[in-house]
A and B are shown apart, each in its own frame.
Chain A
Amino acid sequence: MLQVGLTSNDKNSSFMTNLTKIYGWGRYNQQDAYLHAPTSCASLESTAKQQNNVLARGMGRSYGDSANALNVLQTTYINHFIEFDRATGKLTAEAGITLRDILEVIVPSGWFLPVTPGTSYVTLGGAIASDVHGKNHHIAGTFGQHVKSLSMLLGTGEVVITSPEHHADLFHATCGGMGLTGIIMSATIQLLPIKSSFILQKTIRADCVEVACESFESNSDATYSVAWIDCLNKGKSLGRSVIMLGEHAEQGGLEIDTRQKVSMPFSTPSALLNRFTMKAFNAAYWQKSKQNVSQTVALMPYFYPLDAIGEWNRLYGKKGFIQFQCVLPKNDGVANMRKLLNEISSSGEGSFLAALKQFGVSNENLLSFPTEGYTLALDFKASETAIKMVKRLEDMTVDMGGRLYLTKDAVMYESTFKSTYPNWEKFEAVREQYGAIGKFSSTQSKRLGLA
């Protein structure tokens, strides 16, 4: 260790020749990659110019292989704020900054992210590339819908500013474009004003999936809504759920606590997560959730419950896990959701972290995931049977007219992607036009048959 650490190697030779193993957040997909971590936008530009098959990677929180590539440009050090207008809530920052860093600065000034995913450990660039959604999708849409403009490095080496008004084709390909159109260097977003860093949370228990979906419908005016769903129960109580509604509080101050509580120091034996422990967890969770209870909770635990446990992905053991997230169209959505849940519960493979949510309408971004209907997300401990299961669910989703979230995907077929993302050809045309083809790619983009 000392030998390695204190020896100064020849920077240039080892820089290029050392392959490092990288993973998606699910730790299932692995890739030997050349890692580059430029320290400034200027060095990012010059590094990118020297590579092909390159991809920008932020926190590595997408679950499958969408942030894996042979040549990875880590944006770790491209993480500076550029401008923040506290009066208007317009924020400009470099792409590698994390949402957590942003929250530390904006919340005390009375602003919040217009859309946030379930973890704050993602970068601004990653949130845009995945066009992430949150518990307010039915009202606020996706993250990309709040982006005013982007500064991007193209495959041609040119840096351009793109927005819904300027190079709009590039903008709508880049929001949700999985980093395949170029490298996002910085972005300007419009924040949401808040009066308090607390959330008024209301909990509703639903005995089955039909009641849960009805509840989303009758609470569609709630700002935030999501349900924890039990994927192990069968029959009448199939899909029993705890729906959590949220509103920004008006009082309570604007303090924010972003300290990390605990961390998983190593991978736990994956046998600890089995159908019995998960059933027990689900039963306990159901029991502890009271009907129609309202409470005030702090912003961080409300939006990012899992961020309190660093590297929670290690809970699934060395082999990792696969996450499945689909959206089913609203038409027949409830009946179809029951069919999916039936398949999952009868296999007994489901995890204890499953979420159900109603999506609002889709947007103009070419590869953006959300469409109007219901979305289900759950983990499967990686195994042969689990993968077969996920593939069965994939087929069912396609038959039901739904699709899968690229940011979660680890195993989707090319045919599934191309039939469920009908704009993929337009996406390729934009990539062609802006010099991205042959320059930017990921393990996932190759698997899905993108050039």
Chain B
Amino acid sequence: MKRILIIGATSAIAEHCARIWAAKGDAMHLVARNEQQIQVIASDLKVRGASAVTTHCLDLNCVDRHEELLNIADDALGSVDIVLIAHGTLSNQKSCELSVKETLQEIQSNALSTISLLTLIANRFEAKKSGSICVISSVAGDRGRASNYVYGSAKAMVTAFTSGLRQRLHKSNVSVVTIKPGFVDTPMTSEFKKGFLWAKPGAVASKIVAAISNRNDEVYVPAFWRLIMLVISLIPARFFTRVSL
């Protein structure tokens, strides 16, 4: 039985990961902002077989409460084996362009709050010389594009931060897994027309759960995104500037 802390537990990808862990009988501590929904998910996970489920309602942008969040999780689970950080928002690029406040808010939600958590978790896991950290980043962080560079740059920060953290914690037997999903059919992307590139959250979640138990480093889900993003990042800047992506 694993003891798992899930931050952003109401996100569709996190919820599907939790369902897989529940079926294995793992224990989970869920953190999210929406009190009502987190209770709905907790009851669901118990029926699906989770050995224990506890919840904590918190707006993750309150970074000064992250230390407390981790203390509560430790108390609830005894000790934490796996942390999944999955919270985030899909920024509205157009309105960010018109508002410094909104741009910085998106960077705060998608990058800074994650980095705050990672800093604290890293020190705890480093001290006990065990644990797995998994962060949901995005293919959007591989190269900034006009259509969503605010979200993309926040995710780029998360990707670079976890890459460095992975090197640092390698010596301490702590794995850091960076997940880069492509298009996933979730409530966050409900307004998009779905085509063949879109993946279902259940399928993405099973790759994530496997990546954590295999202690992988950087994982594109589905895997073909590695190739797509390789091509996109190889386009020379002077051509890239002129295309619309």
A207 vs chain B, min Cβ distance (A): 46
Question: A18 vs B187: C-alpha distance in the bound complex, in angstroms?
Answer: 16
**Which of A7, A14, A82 lies in contact with B43, CB distance below 8 A?**
A82
Given A5-B197, A8-B92: A42 and B36 interface contact (C-beta under 8 Å): yes
B17 vs chain A, min Cβ distance (A): 15
Question: A3 vs B192: C-alpha distance in the bound complex, in angstroms?
Answer: 11
CB neighbours (8 Å) of A292 from chain B are none
Report if A384 contacts B (CB, 8 A): no
Chain A interface residue count: which class?
A: 20 to 34
Question: A82 vs B91: C-alpha distance in the bound complex, in angstroms?
Answer: 32
Those of B168-201 within 8 Å (CB) of chain A: 182-183, 187, 189-193, 195, 197-198
Instruction: Determine whether the beta carbon of A81 is less than 8 Å from that of B48.
Output: yes
Instruction: Determine whether the beta carbon of A6 is less than 8 Å from that of B145.
Output: yes
CB neighbours (8 Å) of A2 from chain B are 145, 232, 245
Report if A1 contacts B (CB, 8 A): yes
Considering only CB atoms, which chain A residue lies closest to B96 in the complex?
Answer: A8
Question: A42 vs B41: C-alpha distance in the bound complex, in angstroms?
Answer: 14
Instruction: Determine whether the beta carbon of A5 is less than 8 Å from that of B44.
Output: no
Report if A385 contacts B (CB, 8 A): no
Instruction: Determine whether the beta carbon of B47 is less than 8 Å from that of A11.
Output: no
CB neighbours (8 Å) of A81 from chain B are 43-44, 47-48
Report if A312 contacts B (CB, 8 A): no
Instruction: Determine whether the beta carbon of A3 is less than 8 Å from that of B195.
Output: no
B146 vs chain A, min Cβ distance (A): 9
Instruction: Determine whether the beta carbon of B140 is less than 8 Å from that of A6.
Output: yes
Report if B93 contacts A (CB, 8 A): yes
Report if A331 contacts B (CB, 8 A): no
Question: How many interface contacts (CB-CB < 8 Å) are there between A and B?
Answer: 82
Report if B71 contacts A (CB, 8 A): no
Report if A15 contacts B (CB, 8 A): yes
B160 vs chain A, min Cβ distance (A): 19
**Which of B12, B23, B36, B192 lies in contact with A5, CB distance below 8 A?**
B192
Those of B77-123 within 8 Å (CB) of chain A: 90-95
Report if A87 contacts B (CB, 8 A): no
CB neighbours (8 Å) of B40 from chain A are 40-41, 80, 82, 94
Instruction: Determine whether the beta carbon of A1 is less than 8 Å from that of B245.
Output: no
**Which of B36, B49, B191, B195 lies in contact with A11, CB distance below 8 A?**
B191
Question: A42 vs B90: C-alpha distance in the bound complex, in angstroms?
Answer: 21
Report if A121 contacts B (CB, 8 A): no
Considering only CB atoms, which chain B residue lies closest to A20 in the complex?
Answer: B193
Report if B244 contacts A (CB, 8 A): yes
Question: A5 vs B151: C-alpha distance in the bound complex, in angstroms?
Answer: 13
Instruction: Determine whether the beta carbon of A3 is less than 8 Å from that of B244.
Output: yes
As a 0/1 sequence over residues 102 to 118 of chain A, the CB contacts with chain B under 8 angstroms (1 = contact) are: 00110000000000000
Instruction: Determine whether the beta carbon of B191 is less than 8 Å from that of A18.
Output: yes
Instruction: Determine whether the beta carbon of B187 is less than 8 Å from that of A14.
Output: no
CB neighbours (8 Å) of B244 from chain A are 3
Instruction: Determine whether the beta carbon of B192 is less than 8 Å from that of A4.
Output: yes
CB neighbours (8 Å) of A80 from chain B are 40-41, 43-44
**Which of B47, B140, B183, B232 lies in contact with A84, CB distance below 8 A?**
B47
Interface centre among A1, A2, A9, A37 (most CB of B within 10 A): A2
Instruction: Determine whether the beta carbon of B93 is less than 8 Å from that of A7.
Output: yes
Report if A214 contacts B (CB, 8 A): no
Report if A77 contacts B (CB, 8 A): yes
Question: A37 vs B185: C-alpha distance in the bound complex, in angstroms?
Answer: 11
Report if A10 contacts B (CB, 8 A): yes
Report if A39 contacts B (CB, 8 A): yes
Question: A260 vs B23: C-alpha distance in the bound complex, in angstroms?
Answer: 18
User: Hey, which bits of chain B sit against chain A, CB under 8 A?
Assistant: 12, 23, 34, 36-37, 40-41, 43-44, 47-49, 90-95, 140, 145, 147-148, 151, 182-183, 187, 189-193, 195, 197-198, 232, 244-245
Give 16 CB contacts A-B under 8 Å.
Answer: A5-B183, A5-B192, A6-B140, A7-B93, A8-B147, A8-B151, A18-B191, A20-B193, A39-B37, A40-B36, A80-B40, A80-B43, A81-B44, A81-B47, A105-B48, A105-B49
